[in-house]
Amino acid sequence: MIVMKFGGTSVADATAMHNVAKIVGENIHRKPIVVISAIAHGTNLLESIGFSAAEGNREKAFEFIFSFIEKHRKIVHEGISSQQNREKLLEKISMSEKKLYELSEGVF
């Protein structure tokens, strides 16, 4: 068994994610436990959402939410070839987007 952790630039876009999948695949015989943390700049965007909401800056918080969500949508559109899987992931992203807006509204 091996624990493999990826985050930041190693999962920044669809190309990077495919590279991660290749690395994991090459180590499948080691029975990996794979941990994926935030995409590049993801943590910073989440912090910016929180800080903007805490300051009452709805417009800025919503801009950060849009940027955060669009990064994820772009990865899905560029990296997932199966339309069915792409639609499922985009639905989950939309649900997360809704939750981010709701959390921000609660902080305002």
What tens digit of pLDDT does each residue of 35-58 get?
999 999 999 999 999 999 999 999
pLDDT, tens only, 10-40: 999 999 999 999 999 999 999 999 999 999 9
Distance CA 89, CA 80 (A): 9
Tokens of 38: 């935030």
Q: Cα(89)–Cα(82) distance, rounded to whole angstroms?
A: 11
Q: Model-level pTM? A: 0.85
